[in-house]
Amino acid sequence: MSSGYESESDVTSQTCFDTLSEIIERFKKAPDPGWLPNIRFGHLTVPVCLGPVYAIMDCIASTIRQTEFDSPVIFILSRHEQRLCNLSTMNELPILPDYQDKTLEYSWFSSVLEGNRTNEGPGGWKQVENKNEWELNLSLPKEAFIIFSVDPYMSADCALALTGLVQWACDTAERQGANIRVLTTSSHFGNQLLSELVSIRSQYPVTHYELPIPTYVDVIPADALDNSEGDEMFDRIETRALARDEDDKHALLFVPPLVRTDIWPNLGPALSRNDLLIKHINDDGPLMEWHLTAQNGPATLHDFGTVIDVDVEHPIPSFLYGYSHAQIVLGKRCFRKVFDKDVKQVVYTQLALTQHELNDLQWWCYQPDITPGNITIYLGADGLRACEDAPVYAPRHVENDHAAGFIAGVYAISHWGVDVGRVLQAFVKSPGIVFEMEQRLQKVGIIHPRAQKLCLGDSQEAVFKAVLHLVRYDHRLAHFIALKSSDPQVRRLKVQLAVAMVLAKDWFFETHGEVILCGWGVRDYVTWGDLWLNMGLWKRLSSDHEDFENLSVSDTSIITDAYNTESLPAQGAFIFRQMTTALEEILNGMTEYPDVCLPPHRIRNEVGDLDIHQMKQLLRHFLCSHLYQATKSHLVIDAEDHGHLEHILLSSRTKLELRSSLFPLTIRTFMDLEEDGIVYGICTLLVLEEDTLIGTRWTYVPHDLIAEWF
């Protein structure tokens, strides 16, 4: 198997880890000559095939300790990688205060960096002499070995944490007695990101290392391949599942997830389901491993198998276990949120996977606990070759759905001495993205038009920075929450709406008949758009389940309202409560700004509704934060005197369709809301289907508010 790695040779896994020991031994040595600052930067390429991420991180930790490096060893990982480390003892690492874990995720480390700031400028860090202060209170010492796992899809929290790390390391290296090692890791050969970041701040060299790929593994045996596609493929999967023996257990693994719902009418009720999805933010390592494990108990003739859906971006936690057979489908396309330059919007759309992604996904086919003859792999007629329209590089979040949030985040740390322009250039390579997003951020008043800093004002800036990572770097929602209101009811509804919007793409309600809604923003305003109807679904369910307070993180049930008119996975409801609580803690912790706090509240106790003045204040903030998603609708009468509605985005004059399965904007509703033959609104979720732009989660906006901007 050809990998593209220069070091490929006839090697085993043990050879790889021997190489790791040699790399760490060289990397920990002081630079030569001795008068140079005692700091080293390096990047280590770790092939995907070397196993689950937790095993690699455990090996790195133990190897560092074996080289007698006695200063703090700090691991900074993605959220899912960090939780995968729960599968390992990581004996060489202490449990850290505040987080009660041995490793840190990106956003945690960014908070640690913020907590270590004392003054403005490049040197404004705590002067920590005792390296034990790290274990006691997370004070960063001048001696440390830091391992940073680079997100291949470059989320904003990864980019901001890495930017801050390089800034801190370069500043701290200038202190007497400093001993700093920063080693980034990724599965991408030739990753020059660290070199580019370090060169912004200093002339320190960056050494590149790589572990060789073992060559003894036959990942996709020829006799395991089935090149069927479409309906023929699904028929063959069904045939193989139906031909099972009584004691067999079949895993039907789909990477990316299976999206069709019209298949296997004969198998549907007899199939169990599992998944490894990015939206399951609370899955820890053991739970991820459990998702790939056949459940105890004998197989039955009515138990045909388990469908396991896996997101493309999800790391490989372990192998399938307890299954006798595996049918593995590697798809060529998946749904993603990207910035479309034609419509100039972040849209949810289906894109082809890159060749590099397909090369990585093939490692899902390596299942050593299943007899090779019992594995069937479906790659389609073109095998592992990407589609003709596949991009060369996978979409990176900092250039797409996180772009404006990331840019605002870099502006927010400019007072650390960060060179904003060069940092943005290092991460955002797609032409025009930085200019477009900076223009938007300036227009709505988030960043200063002439200075590289935020310009929201003290309390609004503090809130914006504090909640940005919680709303997944959607700058619009962070801005919406941050805009000042002296009315606690308005502040509460803004937070509720923001949480519901964060979860809109991942968690869907099933409705059964006419739903019965409740809560602020719903009773009197449900005809203002399906945004409010969806808010009402959350509130109805929350009210009937004690504000989701009694749900547990491991609850996998489906919950329904008291009238059995709507249902939702309990995991989504738990995350709704979790996010709400986190936002409450942040806002109520800002005691210096009493006008941002949220008084104690229960959705089930919401009586009446906000009056029109309160709603207009909320919508004024909503329009300011979502200015580029404002819409204009008008009625068109054709030659046969039939009417239909047409819609455009005000910012670009782009045509779109408004759709809603719950509450579409009908002509009758339009006539109730129109003024001078026009209805204005905001679409909060945009979908691109081929050349058709579709707007959902729409809300009406009064004309006088639109007049303030257009």
| Segment holding 558, helix H or strand E | strand 558-560
The model's pTM: 0.94
Six-digit token string for 25: 């031994």
**pLDDT for the residue numbered 14:** 67
Q: Are 338 and 505 in contact (CB under 8 A)?
A: no
Range name among 574-583, 616-625, 652-661 with the lowest pLDDT average: 652-661
Confidence of residue 302 (pLDDT cuts 50, 70, 90): low
What's the distance, Cα to Cα, between the start and end of the chain in Å?
59
Compute the C-alpha angle 203/205/209, nearest 5°: 160
* Mean pLDDT, range 644-657, rounded to an integer: 96
Total residue count of the chain as it appears in this document? 710
Confidence of residue 6 (pLDDT cuts 50, 70, 90): very low
Q: Which of 235 and 641 is assigned the larger pLDDT?
A: 235
Tell me the per-residue pLDDT of 213-255, one tens digit each, with 9 for 90 and over: 777 667 888 899 999 999 999 999 989 988 888 788 999 999 9
What is the average per-residue pLDDT within 468-492? 97
CATH no., domain 13-210: 3.40.50
H/E stretch holding 59: helix 53-66
Helix (H, G, I), strand (E, B) or coil at 469: coil
Residue 385's closest CA among 335, 336, 332?
Answer: 332
Distance CA(151)–CA(185), nearest Å, equals 9
Using 50, 70 and 90 to split pLDDT, how confident is the model at 11? low
Query: Which pLDDT belongs to residue 13?
Result: 59
Report how far residue 41's alpha carbon sits from residue 62's, in angstroms, rounded to the nearest whole number.
Answer: 20
> What H or E segment, with its residue span, contains residue 647?
strand 643-649
* CB neighbour list of residue 470: distance below 8 Å, 6 or more residues apart: 579, 582, 583, 586
* pLDDT, mean of residues 333-355: 96
For residue range 592-608, list pLDDT tens digits in order: 998 999 999 999 989 88
- What Cα–Cα distance (Å) separates residue 425 from each residue in 193, 200, 297, 417, 432? 11, 10, 55, 16, 11
**pLDDT over 90 (residue 7):** no
Domain ranges of the chain: 13-210, 222-378, 456-609, 627-706
Please report which residue ranges of 180-258 form alpha helices under DSSP H.
193-201, 230-242
Tell me the three state secondary structure of residue 459. helix
Exposed / middle / buried, residue 126 (Cβ in 10 Å: 0-12, 13-18, 19+): middle
Give the DSSP H/E element, type plus range, for residue 681. Answer: strand 678-689
How confident is the model over 448-464, as a mean pLDDT?
Answer: 94
Same fold: 13-210 with 222-378: yes
How far, in Å, CA of 67 to CA of 63, rounded? 7
* Cβ atoms of residues 59 and 251 within 8 Å: no
Q: Per-residue confidence at 671, pLDDT binned at 50, 70, 90?
A: very high
Which residue shows structure tokens 């070199």? 195
Per-residue pLDDT at 300 exceeds 60: no
Q: Which of the 8 DSSP states describes residue 211?
A: P
**Longest CA–CA separation in the chain, Å:** 87
The whole-number pLDDT of residue 9 equals 46
Alpha helices in 173-277 (DSSP H): 193-201, 230-242
CA 423 to chain centre: 21
Q: Could you confirm whether domain 222-378 is CATH 3.40.1350? A: no
Give the count of alpha carbons within 13 A of 74, CB side only: 30
Whether 338 and 304 have beta carbons less than 8 Å apart is answered as: no
Helix H or strand E segment including 14:
helix 13-28
Confidence of residue 301 (pLDDT cuts 50, 70, 90): low
4 — pLDDT class (breaks 50, 70, 90): very low
